[in-house]
């Protein structure tokens, strides 16, 4: 009879350890989900903050050389300004001519 007592007690201990392991897994999943949600919310708040703090300019973009608003404008990072394609080519040619001569 002592053998039959050991069997069920052992099963109870195994079930308890499996239950404890399952609880740990569930808690870790919830923590990881919480971290992912916090990161996502941070990106969302940061994006909204960046959008709200931008200055709302009613003025249309103009070429810094000829002042046109009708052509497609290109941002020139090196000159930190907007240029239409013909003016951009003229500026590049002027720089190249200066460097060559």
| Separation CA 14–CA 19 (nearest Å) | 8
Closest CA to 84 of 71, 100, 94, 96: 71
Confidence of residue 31 (pLDDT cuts 50, 70, 90): very high
| Separation CA 19–CA 57 (nearest Å) | 61
In the block, residue with structure tokens 């399952």: 22
Q: What is the average pLDDT score of the chain?
A: 77
pLDDT digits (tens, 9 = 90+) for 44-79: 999 888 777 765 555 677 787 887 777 777 777 766
């Amino acid at each position: 009879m002592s053998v039959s007592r050991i069997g069920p007690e052992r099963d109870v201990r195994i079930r308890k350890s499996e239950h404890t392991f399952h609880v740990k897994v569930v808690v870790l999943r919830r923590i990881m989900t919480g971290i992912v949600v916090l990161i996502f919310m941070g990106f969302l708040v940061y994006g909204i903050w960046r959008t709200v703090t931008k200055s709302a300019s009613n003025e249309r973009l103009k070429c810094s050389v000829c002042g046109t608003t009708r052509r497609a404008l290109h941002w020139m990072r090196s000159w930190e300004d907007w240029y239409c394609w013909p003016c951009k080519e003229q500026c590049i040619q002027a720089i190249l001519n200066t460097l060559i001569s």
